Structure 1
């Protein structure tokens, strides 16, 4: 079984490096897919093509998608090699919904503000990578990745070709301490849109950086 790993915003495959090492150490193949996120002409169809090209080379695949990657994963999951789809702190799309529309449709801003207020943080503060994403990532790891590539606007505004969720087993893993997509918000979205209750792990939005060993063990448990 090969774990094909889809990054989130920015399309940076380095996000998965620590998890790839953990999976390799346990005798499993893992491939992180670089996405053409900086290309102003590339959107979900091009992202899906990049992932599909990797899936084509492996007989049995577990797709693992981080955050924005959850928009790409269902466009590939119907591939006959895919045995399981795992969404990690995901932006779970509705059919036809664009990533740009997702934020308002899901009530994300309100959920993030409420969680910040509950923690004693400023609910009106703008997004801060150090506060919202890297707060529980080891400093040396954060230093290498915090200034990673940026996402172009194309993926957020171009049409989403998803018409229905693929008929493949789907699991959701959520960070219990995610400040950007609070766990309660993720739980509601996963149940409403997929009928799936997330498995929660300690850690924030970037679990593959803050909890690579635990995440590897969780993925292996999901696949038996």
Structure 2
């Protein structure tokens, strides 16, 4: 049995995974959904990593207890790409899966990542190609929820928490990407991290060509069944 550890992006809500979780469990897998202390101004990347470890539970890997978790796959969404890899030396992770995720370089901050990778230019080019005004006021529905069912969008916007700035100012501490099998899953219609942009970054930084699936940035809310199949 695989245990999927689901790490959210900015805002840190475990609720983000609530539609995906039943699909994974229906396939006979265990699921751990992580809630990160995103609103805590004192919480940085190390606290995020420790929160993931604590949520999984170290004791679940001790000895041969009945509750022992095996085949641990860590799934990271968006900004979760900065925190999820940090647990690979703290838990027996068998695989990492990045879902429309930010892929950091050693020493890079999440705040600098946007400029370093050319995200803004990629977003503008995608907007122009699709007939959207790249200079319009930023609308989260346009960029994040355009393919998410309306009731789910309403619920998400009601529970959305502010993301504190500390993790964006901390250099990513690893000297290299963890030596763990890694997959990159990308939504073909992601408007904030366009598919060509994600493909370029994944190939440049990890040497991995993303696996594509229908949908935008919030795949666990818009296409949970399809995402479960790929996982």
User: Quick check: TM above 0.5?
Assistant: yes
What corresponds to 1:222 in structure 2? none
Q: Given the alignment of the two structures, is residue 133 of structure 1 paired with residue 144 of structure 2, yes or no?
A: yes
Q: 2:175 aligns with which of 153, 159, 163?
A: 163
Matches of residues 111-130 of structure 1 in structure 2 within 5 Å?
111-130=122-141
Larger radius of gyration between Structure 1 and Structure 2:
2
Contact 1:78 1:167 in 2 (8 A): no
Q: Given the alignment of the two structures, is residue 181 of structure 1 paired with residue 159 of structure 2, yes or no?
A: no
Matches of residues 172-211 of structure 1 in structure 2 within 5 Å?
172-211=184-223
1:87-133 per-position Cα deviation (integer Å, ceiling 9, x unaligned): 00011000111100100000000000000000000012243110000
Q: Hey, what's the Cα distance between the residues in 1 that align with 2:5 and 2:165?
A: 25
Q: Which runs of 5+ in 1 are unaligned?
A: 220-224
Matches of residues 1-224 of structure 1 in structure 2 within 5 Å?
1-55=2-56, 56=58, 57=60, 58-147=69-158, 148-219=160-231
Q: Hey, what's the Cα distance between the residues in 1 that align with 2:29 and 2:228?
A: 10
Deviation at 1:146, TM superposition (A): 2.0
Alignment TM-score, normalising by the size of structure 2: 0.92
Q: Hey, what's the Cα distance between the residues in 2 that align with 1:140 and 1:127?
A: 21
Q: Hey, what's the Cα distance between the residues in 1 that align with 2:96 and 2:157?
A: 27
Count of residue pairs brought into register by the alignment: 219
Contact 1:36 1:47 in 2 (8 A): yes
Q: Which runs of 5+ in 2 are unaligned?
A: 61-68
Runs of 4+ in 1 over 3 A off after TM superposition: none
Contact 1:78 1:168 in 2 (8 A): no
Deviation at 1:153, TM superposition (A): 0.8
Alignment TM-score, normalising by the size of structure 1: 0.95
Q: Hey, what's the Cα distance between the residues in 2 that align with 1:127 and 1:24?
A: 36
Q: Hey, what's the Cα distance between the residues in 1 that align with 2:73 and 2:81?
A: 13
Q: Hey, what's the Cα distance between the residues in 2 that align with 1:90 and 1:144?
A: 23
Deviation at 1:24, TM superposition (A): 1.2
Aligned partner of residue 15 in structure 2, secondary structure: helix
